[in-house]
Amino acid sequence: MKKIGVILKKNKPEAVELAHKLAPWFEERGIEAFFEHEVANELGLENGHGKSEIPDLVDLIIVLGGDGTLLSVARLVGSTCVPILGVNLGSLGFLTEITVEELFPMLEKIMGGDFELEERMMLRASIYRHGELITSYSALNDVVINKGAIARIIDLEATIDDQYLTLYRVDGLIISTPTGSTGYSLAAAGPIVYPSLHAMIITPICPFTLNNRPIMIPDNSKVKVTLKTENVDHLLTMDGQVTFALKAGDMVEVYKADSCINLIKSPYRDYYEVLRTKLKWSGTR
């Protein structure tokens, strides 16, 4: 890999400090580095790039930050399928598994071809108003439909592959990937799903009827959710970062995206260790 992009959480001093160490490391090995304009200026480099340009220019992207930073990068990568190495600058993340201390040993492994990729599915959410497509978004973790500020239950009619599922009376509805099962869905009592499984999870938020439970469906399904409640602000949120205002009668179609992302797996710990650490499960061997 001769071209590597670095995208970081710019308001985190540790990330900028690490970028200062990466730049000479790349130069010594003849690797062309791609930083965003602001970071390149900070490092005294002549050439900076727009964040959205970097995935098309590189063989690898290093993300310095946390899971939120990586989620934003995942939506940029799109169909390029460029591998992502997530480096967590705080506690371990579900997506950013590599610690700062492990970064340079891990890069040596990558340069030697000693690494493993894990493919993660993404979702596509398309919004239809009066039967016409008005916009679409991608998400790695989840697509969430919920109410605005008014404390009122909303009615959401859901179908799967055009077969009627139910009318949810809820605060909201989460449709997540296996990757996103440890995010908002988990907080709403959804199941933990191993990230490489081929599935989608539908999790109601505070259902009025307590027997409305989360459901797992095949990843080739198409979920359609129609907003039935009048005079209530509805919001569609992707990965907790991108928001779109919905109106009564809108239909949101959620399905597996054509593109996916490839994460470089940590050789230093497995998924279950990350679960134990993040969720503070007790017990030792």
* Residue of 67, 142, 239, 250 marked active site: 67
CA distances from 46 to 43, 93, 95, 113 (A): 9, 33, 31, 30
CA 240, 242, 246, 251 dihedral sign is negative
Q: Check if 67 is active-site.
A: yes
Collapse the DSSP code of 276 into the 3-class scheme (helix H, G, I; strand E, B; otherwise coil) and give the result.
helix
CA distances from 127 to 38, 143, 145, 200, 249 (A): 34, 12, 11, 19, 11
The strand ranges marked E within the chain are 3-8, 32-35, 60-65, 84-88, 117-129, 132-139, 142-147, 154-160, 163-170, 172-176, 199-205, 215-218, 222-227, 234-238, 242-246, 251-264
**Alpha-helical regions (H) of 78-172:** 100-111
Collapse the DSSP code of 109 into the 3-class scheme (helix H, G, I; strand E, B; otherwise coil) and give the result.
helix
Contact 55, 77 (CB under 8 A): yes
Contact 123, 200 (CB under 8 A): yes
CA distance 247 to 235: 9
Give residue for tokens 């995206």: 257
Question: Catalytic site residues?
Answer: 67
